[in-house]
Chain A
Amino acid sequence: KQEVTQIPAALSVPEGENLVLNCSFTDSAIYNLQWFRQDPGKGLTSLLLIQSSQREQTSGRLNASLDKSSGRSTLYIAASQPGDSATYLCAVVENTDKLIFGTGTRLQVFP
Chain B
Amino acid sequence: SAVISQKPSRDICQRGTSLTIQCQVDSQVTMMFWYRQQPGQSLTLIATANQGSEATYESGFVIDKFPISRPNLTFSTLTVSNMSPEDSSIYLCSVRDQSGNTIYFGEGSWLTVV
Residues of A participating in the B interface, judged by any CB pair closer than 8 Å = 32, 34, 36, 41-46, 49, 51, 89, 91, 93, 97-99, 101-104
* Contact A42–B43 (Cβ < 8 Å): no
Residues of B participating in the A interface, judged by any CB pair closer than 8 Å = 4, 6, 31, 33, 35, 42-45, 48, 58, 90, 92, 94, 96, 101-108, 110
Tell me which residues across on chain B come within 8 A of A97, comparing CB atoms.
Answer: 31, 33, 48, 96
**Interchain nearest-CB distance for A59 vs B (Å):** 12
Q: Is the interface of B mostly helix, strand, loop or mixed?
A: strand
Tell me which residues across on chain B come within 8 A of A43, comparing CB atoms.
Answer: 4, 6, 90, 92, 105-108
* Contact A101–B101 (Cβ < 8 Å): no
* Contact A46–B103 (Cβ < 8 Å): yes
Question: Would A32 and B42 be within 8 Å (CB), given that A42-B107, A97-B31, A97-B96 are in contact?
Answer: no
Rounded to whole angstroms, the CA-CA distance of A97 and B96 in the bound complex is 9
